[in-house]
């Protein structure tokens, strides 16, 4: 009733709910969130799950599942939660700042003894918030003889309180515990049921969130995966044979997945002694014609820049996935940031062109990872795929696209044929792509070097040759730009009050902000390129020309993408460049844009 009347952070659309389940490690908040995701996704809802980790290593201290459930595709995890389930009071208190001012707190009403002042989360319920006390521990013990099923009791509360179809939860729980004994399955379902019963009998609902047990049909299959899982699957589907890497948050998960799955495809995962070695492995594999990849984060990318440069110079296919995190240096391993753009685009000695691709969703992590390999092979170049902590770790329901790479055919002239004489590994072509041979192929022998070289690969320091070869390497970017489909502007056609440009993981926030601005009566459009190097400058200029106010949103301090845009459009830009460490709040974009427009 009141909820929809409010504006700003308290806006609650119907069938859009953000739930946080917060506890200590071992309380099962993450697994409860996973079950919640599966249950609501099976009803046709879209989800985005982005758990928050402690700054330290996962597995100790606080663990908090954060999921957004919506009838419409979810673009951001949302800023503040509608509902906080407190499996641990202490940790939940520190999470209260992420709860809406009219949020709901579900807390344990019957702990074994009184808590000291200000250590009970229920004591922090501010006017306007709603608290529901549930004897989580008692009900858990009753059902499973253990306090460890409080998370499942709380799912029973959520399902009943917000009126979801309980059968979907029962199926999700049964599936989750399918490997366990019958008695365990019965007990955990009982925990869920006791939560349901308590809620329907003892809680008088005071909030207005009601999903009315609705379900929506979905087209085709869907899976629930994270960005890292999606990217790893992209590597597998692209047919890599080698993954070499050195663990670093938030990229490690990719290696973990590949370590399990790559051997099945007769591939190899090598954990190297450092990032230089890792990228060296990838370079070597690429040189010898084997698809391979590495994934790292900012600090690793710095170390890899030397070998990437060699790949550019020697025109060796290789794919580097950079899962960005807060920097510089070791920075903030568990916080999200988009501040590696500049090193990805330009981080090299000399003129070092390399394609840079930034997926914006979990689904794109898969399709663009596959594209990265195709591009890398087709244009014989290192390719950098830019993820970040948020994109790597967020979980979405996606429709898998095994055909993701179909449109990327190899250039016909890219493979050398025996008999071509003399064989010129770096022959000048209109596309800049030269015929490639596998090292050691008789009649197609060549020299590959980091020194500037001639068409046949021999070192050469002649000024004219250097110009020709530099042009050749840059020509490949032009060819790629032409081959890549144009980034279509989204939103309104024609003249725009606001044009929003964004990239990577924060694109969702930009799109959500656009939707809010449109509801406020503005004409709004957006331009979100996935291919950041080379940029479609003509398309950008055309879009910019339609906009009264041009906004670039990104999660870094210096406006790294805005610099790129500005160089093309030559006009003032409203830069929304901030290091939030958390996913960008769309409300913030709206607020800043409204301030600019007024």
Contact letters (x/-) for another protein, 14-53, by CB under 8 A? ----------------------------------------
Strands 46-49 and 62-70, by their bridges, are antiparallel
DSSP helix/strand/coil, 66: strand
Angle between helices 150-161 and 29-42 (to 10 degrees): 30
Site for another protein (CB under 8 A): which residue of 27, 34, 79, 138? 138
- Looking at the Cβ atoms of 96 and 120, the one nearer to another protein is 120
Q: Residues touching another protein: how many (CB under 8 A)?
A: 30
The CA distances from residue 239 to 259, 292, 406, 495, in Å, are 14, 9, 13, 45
CB 244 within 8 A of CB 292: yes
- Looking at the Cβ atoms of 123 and 409, the one nearer to another protein is 123
Encode 387-409: b = buried (16+ Cβ within 10 Å), e = exposed: bbbbbbbbbbbbebeeebbeebe
Sheet holding 547-554, edge to edge: 490-491, 524-527, 496-502, 547-554, 574-577
CB of 218 to another protein, least distance (A): 38
Which range, of 133-141, 227-235, 492-500, 576-584, touches another protein by CB under 8 A? 133-141
CB of 153 to another protein, least distance (A): 14
CB of 117 to another protein, least distance (A): 5
- Looking at the Cβ atoms of 109 and 441, the one nearer to another protein is 109
Site for another protein (CB under 8 A): which residue of 19, 22, 125, 244? 125
- Radius of gyration, alpha carbons of the chain: 26
- Looking at the Cβ atoms of 63 and 149, the one nearer to another protein is 149
Q: Longest Cα pair distance anywhere in the chain, in angstroms? A: 87
- Looking at the Cβ atoms of 113 and 349, the one nearer to another protein is 113
Q: Which of residues 141-170 bind another protein (CB under 8 A)?
A: 141-142, 145-148
CB 421 within 8 A of CB 99: no
Contact letters (x/-) for another protein, 231-270, by CB under 8 A? ----------------------------------------
CB 154 within 8 A of CB 21: yes
Decide if residue 201 touches another protein (CB under 8 A). no
- Looking at the Cβ atoms of 198 and 287, the one nearer to another protein is 198
Q: For residue 496, what are the β-bridge partners?
A: 547
Decide if residue 123 touches another protein (CB under 8 A). yes
CB of 104 to another protein, least distance (A): 12
CB 557 within 8 A of CB 579: yes
Q: Which of residues 98-117 bind another protein (CB under 8 A)?
A: 107, 109-117
CB of 139 to another protein, least distance (A): 10
Tokens of 233: 């699957």
CB of 31 to another protein, least distance (A): 18
Site for another protein (CB under 8 A): which residue of 72, 94, 126, 459? 126
Encode 193-229: b = buried (16+ Cβ within 10 Å), e = exposed: bbbbebbeeeeebebebebeeeeeeeeeebbbbbbbb
- Looking at the Cβ atoms of 111 and 450, the one nearer to another protein is 111
Which range, of 134-142, 280-288, 355-363, 459-467, touches another protein by CB under 8 A? 134-142
Give the integer Cα–Cα distance in Å for 113 and 270. Answer: 52
Q: Which of residues 204-223 bind another protein (CB under 8 A)?
A: 206
For the chain, the residue count is 598
Task: Kindly report the number of other CB atoms within 10 A of residue 116's CB atom.
Answer: 6
Decide if residue 95 touches another protein (CB under 8 A). no
Task: Kindly report the number of other CB atoms within 10 A of residue 544's CB atom.
Answer: 19
- Looking at the Cβ atoms of 113 and 598, the one nearer to another protein is 113
> Quick one: DSSP state of residue 336?
B
- State phi, psi for 185 to the nearest 5 degrees: -60, -45
CB of 112 to another protein, least distance (A): 4
CB of 147 to another protein, least distance (A): 5
Give 264: exposed, middle or buried? Use CB within 10 Å, 0-12, 13-18, 19+: exposed
CA atoms within 13 A on the CB side of 6: 15
Decide if residue 128 touches another protein (CB under 8 A). yes
Site for another protein (CB under 8 A): which residue of 72, 119, 288, 330? 119
Q: Which of residues 395-454 bind another protein (CB under 8 A)?
A: none
CB of 520 to another protein, least distance (A): 24
Decide if residue 90 touches another protein (CB under 8 A). no
CB of 116 to another protein, least distance (A): 6
CA angle, residues 36, 38, 43, in degrees to nearest 5: 95
Place of tokens 């349901």: 196
In the complex, the residues that contact another protein under the rule CB under 8 A are 107, 109-120, 122-123, 125-128, 131, 133, 137-138, 141-142, 145-148, 206
């Amino acid at each position: 009733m009141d909820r929809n009347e409010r504006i700003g952070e308290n806006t609650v659309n119907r069938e859009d709910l953000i739930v946080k389940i917060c506890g200590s490690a071992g309380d099962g908040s993450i697994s409860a969130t996973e079950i919640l995701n599966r249950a609501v996704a099976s009803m046709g809802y879209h989800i985005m799950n982005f758990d928050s980790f402690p700054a330290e290593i996962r597995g100790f201290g606080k663990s908090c599942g954060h999921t957004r459930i919506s009838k419409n595709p979810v673009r951001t995890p949302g800023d503040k939660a509608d509902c906080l389930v407190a499996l641990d009071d202490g940790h939940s208190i520190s999470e209260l700042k992420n709860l809406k001012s009219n949020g709901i707190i579900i807390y344990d009403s019957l702990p074994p003894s009184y808590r000291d002042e200000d250590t009970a989360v229920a004591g922090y319920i501010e006017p306007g918030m709603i608290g529901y006390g549930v004897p989580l521990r008692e009900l858990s013990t009753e059902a499973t003889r253990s306090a460890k099923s409080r998370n499942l009791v709380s799912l029973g509360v959520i399902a009943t309180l917000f009126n979801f179809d309980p059968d979907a939860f029962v199926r999700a729980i049964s599936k989750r515990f399918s490997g366990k004994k019958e008695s365990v399955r019965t007990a955990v379902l009982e925990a869920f049921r006791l939560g349901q019963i308590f809620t329907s009998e003892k809680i008088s609902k005071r909030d207005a969130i009601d999903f009315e047990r609705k379900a929506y049909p979905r087209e085709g299959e869907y899976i629930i995966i994270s960005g890292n899982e999606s990217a790893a699957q992209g590597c597998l589907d692209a047919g890599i044979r080698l993954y070499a890497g050195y663990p670093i948050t938030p990229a490690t998960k990719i290696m973990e997945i590949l370590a399990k799955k790559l051997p099945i495809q007769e591939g190899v995962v090598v954990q190297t002694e450092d990032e230089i070695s890792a990228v060296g492995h990838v370079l070597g594999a690429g040189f010898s014609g084997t698809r391979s990849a590495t994934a790292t984060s900012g600090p690793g990318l710095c170390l890899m820049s030397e070998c990437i440069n060699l790949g550019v110079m020697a025109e060796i296919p290789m794919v580097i996935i950079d899962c960005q995190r807060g920097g510089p240096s070791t920075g903030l391993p568990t916080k999200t940031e988009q501040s590696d753009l500049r090193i990805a685009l330009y981080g090299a000695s000399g003129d070092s062109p390399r394609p840079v691709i930034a997926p914006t969703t979990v689904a794109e992590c898969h399709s663009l990872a596959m594209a990265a390999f195709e591009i890398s092979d087709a244009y014989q170049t290192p390719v950098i795929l830019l993820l970040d902590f948020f994109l790597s770790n967020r979980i979405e329901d996606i429709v898998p696209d095994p055909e993701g790479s179909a449109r990327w055919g190899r250039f016909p002239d890219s493979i050398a044929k025996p008999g071509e004489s003399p064989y010129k590994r770096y022959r000048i072509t209109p596309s800049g792509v030269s015929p490639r041979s596998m090292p050691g192929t008789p009649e197609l022998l060549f020299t590959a070097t980091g020194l500037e070289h001639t068409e046949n690969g021999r070192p050469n320091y002649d000024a004219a040759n250097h110009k020709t070869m530099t042009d050749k390497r840059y020509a490949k970017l032009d060819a790629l730009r032409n081959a890549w489909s144009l980034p279509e502007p989204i939103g309104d056609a024609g003249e725009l009050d606001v044009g929003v440009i964004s990239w990577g993981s924060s694109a969702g926030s930009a799109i959500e902000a656009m939707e809010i601005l449109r509801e406020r009566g503005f004409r709004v459009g957006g331009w979100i390129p996935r291919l950041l190097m080379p940029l479609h400058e003509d398309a950008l200029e055309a879009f910019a020309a339609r906009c009264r106010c041009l906004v670039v949103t990104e999660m870094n301090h210096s406006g790294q993408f805005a610099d790129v845009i500005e160089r093309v459009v030559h006009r003032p830009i409203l830069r929304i460049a901030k290091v939030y460490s958390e996913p960008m709040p769309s409300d913030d974009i709206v607020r800043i844009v409204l301030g600019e427009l007024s």
